[in-house]
């Protein structure tokens, strides 16, 4: 094999200005969690999402956990989450002492199905965590209607959807609060990092207090609760500030990349690409294809063959309810169906049309061959 081509599924885009900002932060001596970049990043991100408050944290998982405990979610409570998501969504509920309850997803949006949320509500339900999966917003009006009817909190897991819009509103500004991740393969990155966005001042204050060991503001080293160290560093925030400056450009390029894939792949029969409902702006975190005609084994074979051609892909997430620690029974039909048939394609913002043509060509060859 003389094939040295390798197209990763995602690569962060780090430019010279990013490096300059991080250097400046290191050089300032403010290397921990106090510093100008922290305040600036929180302000700029709150403005970007369109909320009054943003609170930086160490990663997306701690953002979820801190949001839950700050809302008072605790042992005995139930929180409804979509069955198809990254495992952190469900784990954060367990870390808060509560029980995640898995709702099925909607076949069209791949996000939590509001009709199934209703079926899963009990007297213990306290919150819903819709996930804006792969960059497409969940059906927020229907979710908010249910939440209002039953008095539930809504935490938008926006870890994959920075800049995505629901009816013209940015995700993370619609529910009780939003949480974002800045992991290396997310739409913008701080290396590791996360943020909570909200208009609720008391939630913001409570989360800020718990983020920093719940230390009394009046009396140093006096603590009234058991808090956490979930802070982001000034170095991470410096990278975040620099990345946030070009987020619109990154999203434009991601939408362009999706449209190339769509143009080049849409004639394959039985293949679906990411949805975009008429009320949505999808940011296509991961360009995804779904093959109606195949099963999990064929899907996995297609991925192996793509890898032989230097094309790195990922399977869709597996449903939480299929995993041993969450019962292992796969209780949601649509989540299972979509999970088994989906592949995430290379989706980094630096992909060129040539790359997308190469990838699409290989997908065509391999799929035609596999379905014979």
Ligand X SMILES: *Cc1c(COP(=O)(O)O)cnc(C)c1O
Binding site for ligand X (CB under 6 A): 59-61, 85-86, 88-89, 131, 157, 159-160, 181, 183, 194
Half-sphere exposure in the Cβ direction for 23 (13 Å, CA): 6
CB 173 within 8 Å of CB 145:
no
Distance CA 339, CA 331 (A): 13
Q: How far is the CB of 135 from ligand X (least distance, A)?
A: 10
Q: DSSP strand E in the chain: where? A: 53-57, 78-82, 99-103, 125-128, 153-157, 165-166, 169-170, 177-181, 194-198, 271-273, 280-281, 288-291, 314-315, 342-344
Instruction: Please identify, using beta-carbon distances, which residue of 232 and 356 lies nearer to ligand X.
Output: 232
Instruction: Please identify, using beta-carbon distances, which residue of 174 and 356 lies nearer to ligand X.
Output: 174
Q: Which 3 state secondary structure label does DSSP give 257?
A: helix
Instruction: Please identify, using beta-carbon distances, which residue of 246 and 314 lies nearer to ligand X.
Output: 314
Tell me the two tokens of residue 356. 């997308």
Q: How far is the CB of 126 from ligand X (least distance, A)?
A: 19
Q: How far is the CB of 159 from ligand X (least distance, A)?
A: 3
Instruction: Please identify, using beta-carbon distances, which residue of 59 and 344 lies nearer to ligand X.
Output: 59
Instruction: Please identify, using beta-carbon distances, which residue of 179 and 271 lies nearer to ligand X.
Output: 179
Instruction: Please identify, using beta-carbon distances, which residue of 68 and 88 lies nearer to ligand X.
Output: 88
Instruction: Please identify, using beta-carbon distances, which residue of 48 and 86 lies nearer to ligand X.
Output: 86
Half-sphere exposure in the Cβ direction for 116 (13 Å, CA): 21
Q: How far is the CB of 4 from ligand X (least distance, A)?
A: 30
Q: How far is the CB of 286 from ligand X (least distance, A)?
A: 9
Tell me the two tokens of residue 168. 């013209």
Residue recorded with tokens 């139930």: 78
Q: How far is the CB of 290 from ligand X (least distance, A)?
A: 18
Instruction: Please identify, using beta-carbon distances, which residue of 59 and 339 lies nearer to ligand X.
Output: 59
Exposure string over 94-126, b if 16+ CB within 10 A, otherwise e: eebebebbbbbbbeebbbbbbebbeebbeeebb
Q: How far is the CB of 190 from ligand X (least distance, A)?
A: 9
Alpha carbon 216 to its chain centroid, in Å, reads 33
66-to-33, 44, 179, 238, 308 alpha-carbon distances in Å: 17, 21, 10, 22, 42
Instruction: Please identify, using beta-carbon distances, which residue of 60 and 178 lies nearer to ligand X.
Output: 60
Q: What are phi and psi of 80, to 5 degrees?
A: -90, 125
Q: How far is the CB of 185 from ligand X (least distance, A)?
A: 8
Closest CA to 178 of 293, 284, 266, 52: 52
Q: Which residue is nearest to ligand X (CB)?
A: 60
DSSP string, 10-31: ------HHHHHHHHHHHHTT--
Tell me the two tokens of residue 212. 């920093």
Which DSSP category does 97 fall into?
T
Q: How far is the CB of 86 from ligand X (least distance, A)?
A: 4
């Amino acid at each position: 094999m003389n094939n040295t081509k390798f197209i990763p599924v995602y690569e962060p885009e780090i430019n010279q200005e990013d490096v300059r900002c991080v250097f400046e932060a290191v050089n300032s001596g403010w290397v921990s969690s106090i510093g100008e970049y922290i305040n600036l990043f929180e302000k700029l991100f709150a403005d970007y999402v369109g909320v009054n408050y943003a609170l930086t944290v160490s990663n997306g998982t701690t953002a979820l956990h801190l949001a839950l405990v700050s809302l008072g979610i605790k042992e005995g409570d139930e929180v409804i989450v979509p069955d198809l998501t990254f495992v952190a969504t469900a784990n954060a509920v367990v870390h808060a002492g509560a029980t995640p309850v898995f709702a099925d997803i909607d076949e069209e949006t791949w996000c939590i199905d509001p009709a199934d949320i209703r079926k899963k509500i009990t007297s213990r339900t306290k919150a819903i965590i819709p996930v804006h999966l792969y960059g497409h917003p969940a059906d927020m009006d229907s979710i908010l209607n249910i939440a209002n009817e039953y008095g539930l909190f809504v935490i938008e897991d926006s870890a994959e959807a920075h800049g995505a819009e629901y009816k013209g509103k940015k995700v993370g500004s619609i529910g009780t609060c939003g949480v974002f991740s800045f992991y290396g393969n997310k739409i913008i990155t701080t290396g590791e990092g996360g943020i909570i966005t909200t208009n609720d001042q008391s939630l913001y204050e409570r989360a800020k207090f718990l983020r920093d060991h719940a230390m009394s503001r009046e009396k140093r080293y006096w603590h009234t609760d058991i808090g956490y160290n979930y802070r982001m560093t000034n170095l991470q925030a410096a990278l975040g500030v620099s990345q946030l400056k070009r987020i619109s450009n990154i999203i434009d390029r991601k939408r362009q990349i999706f449209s190339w894939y769509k143009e080049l792949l849409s004639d394959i029969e039985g293949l679906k690409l990411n949805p975009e409902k008429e009320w949505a702006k999808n940011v296509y975190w991961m360009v995804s294809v779904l093959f109606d005609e195949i099963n999990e084994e064929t899907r996995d074979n297609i991925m192996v063959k793509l890898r032989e051609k230097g094309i790195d892909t990922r399977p869709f997430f597996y449903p939480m309810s299929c995993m041993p620690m969450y019962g292992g029974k796969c209780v949601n039909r649509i989540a299972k169906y979509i999970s088994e048939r989906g592949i995430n394609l290379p989706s980094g913002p630096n992909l060129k049309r040539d790359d997308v043509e190469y990838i699409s060509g290989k997908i065509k060859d391999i799929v035609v061959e596999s379905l014979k």
